[in-house]
Amino acid sequence: MTTPLLRLSGLTKAYPGVVANQDVSFDVQAGEIHALLGENGAGKSTLVKTIYGLVKPDAGQMALQGAPFVPAEPRAARAAGVAMVFQHFSLFDAMNVAENIALGMENPPPQREIAARVRQVSDQYGLPLDPSRIVGELSAGERQRVEIVRCLLQDPKLLIMDEPTSVLTPQEVAILFETLRRLRAAGTAILYISHKLEEIRALCDAATVLRLGRVVGTCDPRATSAREMAELMVGSSLHVPHKAARPEGDVILTLQGLSAKAPHRFGTALREIDLTVRRGEILGIGGVAGNGQDELVAALSGEIRTARDMVQFDGQGIGHLAPNARRHLGLLAAPEERMGHAAAPDMSLTENALLTAAVRQHLTARGFVRWGKARAFAGSVIAAFDVRTPGAGNTARSLSGGNLQKFVIGREIMQAPALLVVNQPTWGVDASAAAAIRQALLDLAAKGAAVICISQDLDELMEISDRFAALNGGRLSDPRPAQGLNVEQIGLMLGGAHDMEVAHVDA
Amino acid sequence: MIRLEKRTAPSRFWTYAAPLLAVVLTMVCGALLFAALGNDPFVTIRTIFWDPLFSEFSWYYRPQLLIKAAPLVLIAIGLSFGFRAGVWNIGAEGQYILGAICGAAVGLAFYPTESVFIFPLMIVAGALGGWAWAMIPGFLRVRFGTNEILVSLMLVYVAQNLLASMALGALRNPDASGFPGSRNLARYPSATSWINEGAGLHWGVVFAFIAVIFAYITLSRHIFGFHVRLSGQSPRAARFAGVNPGLLVLICMGISGALAGLAGLFEVAGPSGLISIDFNAGYGFTAIIVAFLGRLHPVGILLAAGLMALTYIGGEIAQSNLRLPAAAIQLLQGMLLFFLLAVDVLTHYRVRFTSRRVV
């Protein structure tokens, strides 16, 4: 057997109170797309940061092509041939593609040369990219290509990709996969981090599964079912939400030409949104991030005020009402950002319960807070939604992402909304918590409430929604019944890919 | 090597211990400073921190402590609302001056009439004066997005010039044959804030205690206090919770302005007695230190104001008895804030000593 490109043996890294990686060992071969699978908090990020020189392991060794590999910093890792594409891009909006790429280089050659190399690399790997375009005008998929090209210019032996498809449309995912396959054919190894199992089955040659910092299994993803991999990840059998047939109810929400200016410079304006939502239905709204999701939630929750009749709730114009007046009527919302928006990180769960439940749960009396009642309400949310925490007195920050999300969603559901608006309800949440949240949304709809679920996870939307609509540039497509929609149609509703076709290689 | 690791939650122990440690460190470094200046460090520290309370002359100093602490408590309590909500009113000194001018003007307008209604009217005027002065930066921030730190600070200098012009012009004592300064309100029975001058007790002391209780209840029990804390910690979450950010800015500015104005009124109608060119003594700025030293907590502010008053009175004793320069006392007070902020790291971070060797 040949020497593996990268060999990890016995890597251990502990943080105060938590062991992020324990005795992690596996090999990545040259010319292999190797999946690193695991729930949130399984230790994937720590592991790749170790390989990229951002984290020093407490114990264990790494070897690159047989030679000991101890990168002191990312620069050393890059010099050794390891490149990484992060989930969050580090690009300057005001500069063009070639300038952004030059910024990441130690000794950048002249602009013209960079532009030529960018063209060459993007042709070679099927990554359509114009070096002279301003980054601020690019789509998320194109921005990711800039990051990938930036890595490829270093001619890496190992490319690490952290959840690369979370911001892409299905068509853009197809382009990315084509690129990764070409890279594999050229002998580059790719360490591919994801929790989207179908993608991994379609793309990867080998998979290592992490759970609670340990390697719990390796498998050939092409020969393993998604369900088996999920159970390996979670460590127990997975609960699949149950969707019951529901009768169609009365109209609860009507949006009539809802338009709103972008709340800040990098926001999206809402344009002429028309929509009706009925009691007992779940409307799924898909879209690539930054197409008006946050703004739509804000316009519904009351954080953005509009003309009165643009938003009608139960036949009454409420566009001008503040959040608490809307809560009083039964319109509740759970925004995407948990820390600092849906919840205050440094406040206790009791205080966070008070944050949205003061009106409907009568947690104040003549302006004075009834702390006992607030504590009891927080406790009931914790119990009903299986939030893992020592108690309601703990701060929101001390909870893991999934637990806090369960608390935030549970806090709204326990207030018995007539309409619940959720944005990215399972973002960054582990598989079992995600299933629990989806089931809770389905149960809520079964009881006759309407749910608007905004998400970038199309599988999730298909799983729970009755109708599906897409946000694109602040406009909402006409909703269509979710049953029978295929990936192609959804992709087109999302606005398709930018530069959809793979770059043509001139003969 | 020393490393700092962020705690998941602020340490309960250090939240309370940090101010005490800061005081101790200030004493130690202050002692070194005084030693370098050629004074006996132990005697100096004892003179500043012990003598005002427990020496044979403490019967004279203790009332002075009340007089010094009362305006600091009033102003700092007001500031703590804004500071908790992320509203940075740095201009309490100006609001204090305006409160004194407005309150004194009302009192002087009635001179020499005697009536029980005069003093309450002065209180209202003082609070309104400070409130109105604070509304300027508040309104500008809400309406035009200006920085309230700069505007409120600049308005202090405007207020000082206004004070000088009042002392020399409109409010000048007509019987003082051209000397600057107003009539002495402390000698005008219907307008004085003194309750018992010998004990250092004036209405400002009473209001300071009321303010502490009011602030404590508001911040811990009332939904408004919750919204104030929420706005400071997570502005977006506050908006989501239904807080109107502009209104909150105005209310916080209003509370701090009105309390600073009250402090000015009680001072001018009692301990100071008259509007003079140099009437203000920096209480508005010292109160910022007091507010942070007291952790923006009402009870903490009460204790911190006591400590600050102690360094003022003790400093004066040290100046007259030990010939310590006035700047040395200000340095001591500066050190206190410096150490407090430095020690604060321990509340949010854990210090780890690690060997230099890294695997």
Domain boundary assignment for chain B: 1-37+327-359, 62-324
Most A CBs within 10 Å, among B214, B231, B239, B240, to test the A interface: B240
- Average of per-residue pLDDT across A353-368: 94
Contacts 24+ apart (CB under 8 A), B296-302: B296/B80, B296/B83, B296/B84, B297/B80, B297/B219, B298/B77, B298/B80, B298/B211, B298/B212, B298/B213, B298/B215, B298/B216, B298/B219, B299/B212, B299/B216, B300/B19, B301/B73, B301/B76, B301/B77, B301/B80, B301/B212, B302/B73, B302/B208, B302/B212
Residue from A239, A237, A234, A233 nearest A37 by CA: A233
Looking at every residue in chain A, the average pLDDT score rounds to 86
Residues A229 and A279 in one domain: no
- Average of per-residue pLDDT across B117-144: 97
pLDDT (0 to 100) of residue A192? 92
Is pLDDT at A3 greater than 50 in this prediction? yes
pLDDT (0 to 100) of residue A163? 81
- Average of per-residue pLDDT across B278-300: 91
Residues A51 and A124 in one domain: yes
Q: B62 in contact with A at a CB cutoff of 8 Å?
A: no
Tell me whether strands B2-6 and A480-481 are parallel, antiparallel or unpaired: unpaired
Higher-confidence residue: A495 or B121? B121
For residue A395, the enclosing domain spans 251-493
A367 vs B contacts (CB less than 8 Å): 222-224
A397 vs B contacts (CB less than 8 Å): 8-9
Question: Lowest-pLDDT range, A136-145, B33-42, B294-303?
Answer: A136-145
Is residue A507 situated within a structural domain? Answer: no
Percent of chain A surpassing pLDDT 90: 39
Residues A291 and A223 in one domain: no
Place of tokens 């001139």: A506
Is residue A217 situated within a structural domain? Answer: yes
pLDDT, tens digit (0-9, with 9 covering 90-100), for A245-299: 667 789 999 999 999 998 876 678 899 999 999 999 999 998 877 788 899 999 9
Q: Do B223 and A346 touch (CB under 8 A)?
A: no
Count of beta carbons in the 10 Å neighbourhood of residue A121: 19
Q: What is the DSSP track for B191-217?
A: T--EEEGGGTEEHHHHHHHHHHHHHHH
B229 vs A contacts (CB less than 8 Å): 347
Residues A274 and A155 in one domain: no
Residues A172 and A302 in one domain: no
Residues A57 and A115 in one domain: yes
Separation of alpha carbons A171 and A177, rounded Å: 10
Separation of alpha carbons B46 and B58, rounded Å: 13
Is residue A502 situated within a structural domain? Answer: no
User: Considering only alpha carbons, which residue of chain B is nearest residue A395?
Assistant: B9
Q: What phi and psi values does residue A257 have, to the nearest 5 degrees?
A: 55, 40
Q: What is the DSSP track for A354-378?
A: HHHHTTTTT-EETTEE-HHHHHHHH
User: Which residue type occupies A21?
Assistant: N
Q: Give, in degrees to the nearest 5, the angle at Cα B133 between B131 and B137.
A: 105
Residue from A447, A377, A456, A432 nearest A410 by CA: A377
Higher-confidence residue: A137 or B262? B262
Residues A171 and A271 in one domain: no
What domain count does chain A have?
A: 2
Separation of alpha carbons B260 and B277, rounded Å: 18
pLDDT (0 to 100) of residue B167? 93
Is pLDDT at A13 greater than 80 in this prediction? yes
CATH number of residue A136's parent domain: 3.40.50.300
- Average of per-residue pLDDT across A197-219: 87
How far away is chain A from the Cα of B83, in angstroms, using its nearest Cα? 16
Separation of alpha carbons B305 and B79, rounded Å: 13
Question: Lowest-pLDDT range, A354-358, B55-59, B101-105?
Answer: B55-59
Q: Which residue in B223, B237, B359 is closest to A344 by CB distance?
A: B237
Separation of alpha carbons A488 and A494, rounded Å: 10
Residues A49 and A115 in one domain: yes
pLDDT (0 to 100) of residue A42? 77
Is residue A239 situated within a structural domain? Answer: no
The CA distances from residue A410 to A31, A353, A358, A377, A466, in Å, are 46, 10, 15, 11, 22
Helices B118-144/B148-168 angle, 10° precision: 140
Is pLDDT at A506 greater than 70 in this prediction? no
In which band, very low, low, confident or very high, does the pLDDT at B8 lie, cut at 50, 70 and 90?
low
A368 vs B contacts (CB less than 8 Å): 221-223
| Length, in residues, of chain B | 359
B347 vs A contacts (CB less than 8 Å): none
Provide the ipTM.
Answer: 0.84
Radius of gyration of chain B (CA): 22
User: How many Å is the maximal CA-CA distance in chain B?
Assistant: 84
pLDDT, tens digit (0-9, with 9 covering 90-100), for A313-326: 999 999 999 999 99
Is residue A442 situated within a structural domain? Answer: yes
pLDDT (0 to 100) of residue A224? 85
Q: Do A323 and B241 touch (CB under 8 A)?
A: yes
Higher-confidence residue: B74 or B295? B74
- Average of per-residue pLDDT across A69-86: 88
A314 in Cβ contact with A418 (< 8 Å):
yes
CATH number for the domain formed by residue range(s) B62-324: 1.10.3470
Separation of alpha carbons A289 and A286, rounded Å: 9
pLDDT (0 to 100) of residue A497? 41
Instruction: Evaluate the omega torsion of the peptide bond into residue B325 and state whether it is cis, within 30 degrees of 0.
Output: no
Secondary structure letter of residue B26 according to DSSP? H
Residues A204 and A288 in one domain: no
Separation of alpha carbons B244 and B249, rounded Å: 9
Residues A178 and A267 in one domain: no
Separation of alpha carbons A425 and A465, rounded Å: 13
pLDDT (0 to 100) of residue B347? 81
Residues A187 and A285 in one domain: no
pLDDT, tens digit (0-9, with 9 covering 90-100), for A417-440: 999 999 999 877 777 788 889 999
Q: Do B221 and A368 touch (CB under 8 A)?
A: yes
Most B CBs within 10 Å, among A21, A341, A421, to test the B interface: A341
Q: Does pTM surpass 0.95?
A: no
pLDDT (0 to 100) of residue A242? 65
pLDDT, tens digit (0-9, with 9 covering 90-100), for A161-192: 988 877 777 778 888 898 899 999 989 999 99
